[in-house]
Structure 1
Amino acid sequence: MPDFPLATALAVGTVVLDGGLATQLEAQGHDLSSALWSARLLHDDPEAVVAAHAAFAAAGAQVATTASYQVSVEGLAAAGLDAAEARRLVVRSVHLAERGAPEAWVAGSVGPYGAALADGSEYTGDYADEIGVEGLRQWHRPRMEWLADAGADVLACETVPAAAEAEALLAEADMLGVPVWLSLTTVVDGDGVVRTRRGEPAREVFAMARDVDAVVAVGVNCTDPDGVLAAVGAATASGRPVVVYPNSGERWDAAARRWAGTAGISPAGALGWVDAGARLVGGCCRVGPADIAGLAATLAVDDQLS
């Protein structure tokens, strides 16, 4: 990893994130159709995870995001693994990222509660009201602590679909005192308002991070590239640097478990996001090393011209 914090880098320029880790693992020939998704390979084939991180690092990614997005005690228990194994795999995810991308910052992926359900509910947030802020804090706490203890440079609290879950993650981050970024998954409504998947105004959710010292950035991921520019504007309510890593423009059909639509992310479009205030820029689902290489090259040229 670099010898200075990620927050320091964001104060002076743009940092390139990696892309979709699962996308690259599938490109390497791995079947991720199980409920554990890419987390299965933490147990079954850790060297594949190292190779995926290395591919993004070679493409110019300055941040390696761990394969812990889908890891939960409950999900692993359903696969016959206990809580001790869950912790071991979370810790392993950090070490694999360090091996695959030794010059990068390691972002410990903290996926939403819905991701562990493997039913697409991270794109609705329907569970948030029933579980509540305190329940979500308790659910997220172990993984966040394990990632921090394993040495992750920052925790990526990502694909967050609801205000209640954002509140829970921010409260846990404040308690842990480790650097985090908060990334919502959002949509833009017919009036041009950026909203969480649960329907709350994203600007109000981003504003929750204003007084949480642990937060190094807020923004969006796993959203349509066409909605990113509006989301950058909404994220400025936090007073923090902005992180954006959209998907390819295709959409996940949870029932059919496949992607539909046409890929639309472009490095040139990312320049508009940076001009609007984005400082952490990368990709999410269906964004591979070639896309990140184009993004890194375009942003490097932009930095030279600035």
Structure 2
Amino acid sequence: MIVSMRSLAEALATGTVILDGGLSTELEARGHDVSSALWSARLLRDDPGAIVAAHAAFAAAGAQVATTASYQATVEGFGAAGVDATEARRLIASSVALAREGQGDGWVAGSVGPYGAMLADGSEYTGAYVDALSVARLRAFHRPRMELLAEAGADVLACETVPAAAEAEALIAEADALGIPVWLSLTTVLDGDGVARTRRGELAADVFAMAASVDAVIAVGVNCTAPAAIGAAVAAASVAGRPVVVYPNSGESWDAVGRRWTGTPGIATDDVPPWVDGGARLVGGCCRVRPSDIERVAMMIRRPDHKGSWLTVGGEPGPRMIRRPDHHAGQRMGLPPVTAMRAPEM
């Protein structure tokens, strides 16, 4: 059914919106095995209720946007796990209904991870694969999932953890052709001069400018990046003329060879106001950022002495237009019944 609600793009023009945290690492923290090549997408098939519960925990902590469990969900990836193409498409689409059920009245962002996420070899953090793939090939790879998520009712697509300019070009060109609103989020590093660059070494500012020239792009920014590198990325993104999206990792580092996290977790909330003052309008967390972290980020942004504004209308997002499935949509897709759970006490 059609519900009159405010679009996320309109919301970002008037205030700061809180994004969720790391869905897959939250599921892992709750005892679920996400070590397979499908990562959290495995639970779309094996335990959809766990996904709803994780979404609900972030929503209870203050997140206004739920990001679907489709980052590593592709027809090719499911195929390698023995899932046929028809079932794979159903599972990808179901991620939107599960996010909607857990989030409640907030927005749902359909997660579109990079090509390297499907390879499950850590190359999403290098972008090395783009040397062997044309923009046309990358567009063809991303198109089916983008279409499925949009048709399932996602309010926006989150093209995220993008490591290279060529893949960013492919994603925004495909979004433009399909008429789907997206945000583009790079994963970046600092060069020797403290300037934000993609994992392939391109200037992040150049990629943001390219993305901002496309009407379908409602925000540009950075995710899956160390908190210390966020300030430079915000500065690079803010000149592109679009709202900035920021969702860093916890501060730990992922050892792709040892498959473990090292370092000290947690976003320093004192870092958040400078990001917002620099243009960040969609703020959350990525890997290892838990509901308790999002709660602290939300509280920091809502502080009366902060220049940013907390976007609420009667405690809920304002008017927008979305295609919203009802809370039994997952069952109609053939999923077992799930119930949104209250977040555990933190």
> What TM-score, normalized by structure 2, do the two folds share?
0.86
Q: Distance in 1 between matches of 2:35 and 2:306?
A: 42
TM-fit CA distance, 1:2: 7.9
Cα pair 1:109 1:157 within 8 Å, conserved: yes
Contact kept, 8 Å, 2:266 with 2:289, in 1: the verdict is no
Could you list the runs of 5+ residues in structure 1 that have no partner in the other structure?
none
Structure that is richer in helix per residue: 1
CA distance in 2, matches of 1:152, 1:214: 14
From 185, 205, 208, the equivalent of 2:207 is 205
Query: How much has 1:203 moved relative to structure 2?
Result: 0.6
Match of residue 95 from structure 2 = 93
Q: Does the CA contact (< 8 Å) of 2:165 and 2:198 recur in 1?
A: yes
CA shift, 1:302, in A, is: 4.4
C-alpha deviation, 1:237, in angstroms: 3.4
Distance of aligned partners of 1:76 and 1:258 in 2 relative to their CA distance in 1, 3 Å threshold: same
Q: Distance in 2 between matches of 1:132 and 1:116?
A: 17
How far 1:193 sits from its partner (Å)? 1.6
CA 302–23 in structure 1, closer or farther in 2 if over 3 Å, else same: farther
**Equivalent residue number for residue 230 of structure 1:** 232
Q: 3-state SS of the aligned residue for 2:245? A: strand
Q: Deviations over 1:102-132 (max 9, x none)?
A: 1110000000000111111000000012112
Q: Which residue of 2 aligns with 1:297?
A: 299
- The answer to whether the Cα contact below 8 Å between 2:40 and 2:72 also exists between their aligned partners in 1 is yes
CA contact (8 A) 1:183 1:220 kept: yes
| TM-score between the two structures when normalised by the length of structure 1 | 0.97
Q: Is the 8 A contact 2:277 2:307 kept in 1?
A: no
1:202·1:234 contact (CA, 8 Å) conserved in 2?
yes
User: Aligned residue for 1:174?
Assistant: 176
Contact 1:107 1:156 in 2 (8 A): yes
Equivalence for 2:280:
278
* Partner of residue 111 from structure 2, selected from 97, 109, 124: 109
1:27 deviation in Å?
Answer: 2.0
Q: CA deviation at 1:236?
A: 2.1
2-side partners of 1:139 and 1:243: how far apart?
A: 24
Q: How many angstroms apart in 2 are the aligned matches of 1:38 and 1:181?
A: 21
**CA distance in structure 1 between the partners assigned to 2:304 and 2:100 by the alignment:** 28
Alpha-carbon distance in 2 for matches of 1:172, 1:131:
16
Return the letter of the residue paired with 2:140.
Answer: Q
Question: Shift of residue 72 of structure 1?
Answer: 1.1
Residue 153 of structure 1 deviates from its aligned partner by 0.1
Return the offset for 1:264: 4.6
**1: CA distance, partners of 2:187 / 2:307:** 32
Cross-structure match for 1:162 = 164
Per-residue deviation, 1:90:
1.1
Q: Sequence identity of aligned pairs in percent?
A: 71
SS of the equivalent of 2:5 reads coil
Q: How does 1:127-138 map to 2 (within 5 A)?
A: 127-138=129-140
- Alpha-carbon shift at residue 263 of structure 1 (Å): 2.1
Which residue, 241, 244, 255 being the options, matches 2:243?
A: 241
Letter in 2 for 1:274: V
Higher radius of gyration, 1 or 2: 2
Q: Is the 8 A contact 1:2 1:105 kept in 2?
A: no
Q: 1:185 to 1:2 in 2, by over 3 A?
A: farther
Q: Secondary structure at the match of 2:303?
A: helix
Distance 1:272 1:305, change over 3 A: closer
Query: Partner of 2:145 in structure 1?
Result: 143
Alpha-carbon offset, residue 76 of structure 1: 0.8
User: Aligned partners of 1:199, 1:5: CA distance in 2, in Å?
Assistant: 34
Tell me, yes or no, if structure 1 residue 194 matches structure 2 residue 196: yes
Q: Identify the residue that residue 4 of structure 1 maps to in structure 2.
A: 6
Distance apart, 1:4 and its partner CA = 0.4
Q: Which of 185, 188, 191 is residue 187 of structure 2 equivalent to?
A: 185
Preserved contact between residue 163 and residue 187 of structure 2 (Cα < 8 Å): yes
Structure 2, unmatched stretches of 5+, are 309-346
CA contact (8 A) 2:189 2:198 kept: yes
